[in-house]
Structure 1
Amino acid sequence: MDHVDRTEIRPCRAADLPLLDRHLPTPGAPTRHADRFARQEAGTGTYLLAWRDGVPVGHGQVRWDGCAAPGVRAAVGECPEFNGLDVRAELRGQGIGTALIHAAEELTRERGGTALGLGVGHDNPRAAALYRRLGYGPVVAYTDRWSWTDPDGRTHEEADPCTFLVRDLTTPDA
């Protein structure tokens, strides 16, 4: 049986949050899963989860209002963005990330979207290669900025150089 055949992709449900926190913890950002689920509940995102044998093994979120970075918004407007893609390290290379991206593309098409974008850090050549293979092309360089709070309550500001890539969804799947 192919590994991807055992993988179920579906939107997050409230009951999934404790399992996400247990199996896909987000150190330094203990509310990240809940925040993404809240965005979904507000209708501005869809938080997709990959499951194997009842355990969450990957996730990513479609932000229907697009990337928040000003340079990206200037270049692509409110093109939906797929962000936060992550797969458990020991399962990478088995098609789970690709399945999540394809599910995000299908949801975007169902909503009438003709393109999907995503950002990739300059320090992540493996992800960049996957996105190129799936038909995503570079549009604009930008700096992804976010903050997180450590267990002692200190806030940390982060900034990563990235490239925003877009795929035209009116062409066949790569």
Structure 2
Amino acid sequence: MEIAVCRAADVAPLDEFIGSPGAASSHARRFARQQAGGGTYLVAWIDGRPVGHGEVIWDGCAVPEVRAALPGCPELNGLGVWPPRLRSRGIGGALIRRAEELARERGRTFLGLGVAANNPRAAALYARLGYLPLTDYVDCWSYEDSDGVIRECVDPCTFLTKELPSGPLDVKRS
């Protein structure tokens, strides 16, 4: 498995293998934010195929109560592994560890992410990796479906954070 920063040429395979809800590509939006300097879009690859992704948004979560609870905390957003049969095989954890490395390289001392109340499997992974609850919030988002209808989504979530250790990165030796 390889974790790489998204390139322009990666957007089409992401759309093909890890579709976005709705008519507009969330992959293209994330890549555009990366190009503008607002994020870093990470993609997990196995055998030349994208199997996971996550975006570090450097300005942090847009929800006011999250921003107030820990100002300046970057957010790992849109973490996902596809297809579902590949979950619980280390792909999500590898994406998170790479996001943590990027945050440390930028001098950040925390990384945060949201988890929906109805996603205990993801919450368990985040807890194993050392993420602790910071605050509850409601994530409201929308997308345009393939028929052109705007769909509104409301998810009760918890924002989790992890304090990133300072000093040299730990290197595991075999």
**TM bucket normalised to smaller:** over 0.9
Aligned mate of 1:161, from 140, 156, 160? 156
Question: Counterpart of 1:68 in structure 2: which amino acid?
Answer: A
In the aligned structure 2, how far is the partner of 1:139 from the partner of 1:29? 34
- What is the 5 A alignment of 1:52-91? 52-88=46-82, 89-91=84-86
Other-structure match for 1:133: 128
In the aligned structure 2, how far is the partner of 1:29 from the partner of 1:36? 15
Per the normalisation by structure 1, the TM-score is 0.93
State the Cα RMSD in Å. Answer: 1.2
Other-structure match for 2:93: 98
Number of paired residues? 167
Asked if the contact 1:67–1:78 (Cα under 8 Å) also holds between the matched residues in 2, the reply is no
Distance 1:136 1:59, change over 3 A: same
Question: Counterpart of 2:13 in structure 1: which amino acid?
Answer: L
Aligned mate of 1:152, from 147, 151, 166? 147
Question: Counterpart of 2:77 in structure 1: which amino acid?
Answer: N
Asked if the contact 2:23–2:146 (Cα under 8 Å) also holds between the matched residues in 1, the reply is no
The ranges of structure 1 where at least 4 consecutive aligned residues each deviate by more than 6 angstroms after the TM superposition are none
What is the Cα deviation at residue 114 of structure 1?
Answer: 0.6
Runs of at least 5 residues in structure 1 that lack an aligned partner in the other structure = 1-6
Could you say what secondary structure the match of 1:130 adopts? helix
Is 1:15 the counterpart of 2:9 in the alignment?
yes
Report % sequence identity: 62
Per the normalisation by structure 2, the TM-score is 0.93
Runs of at least 5 residues in structure 2 that lack an aligned partner in the other structure = none
What is the Cα deviation at residue 77 of structure 1?
Answer: 1.2
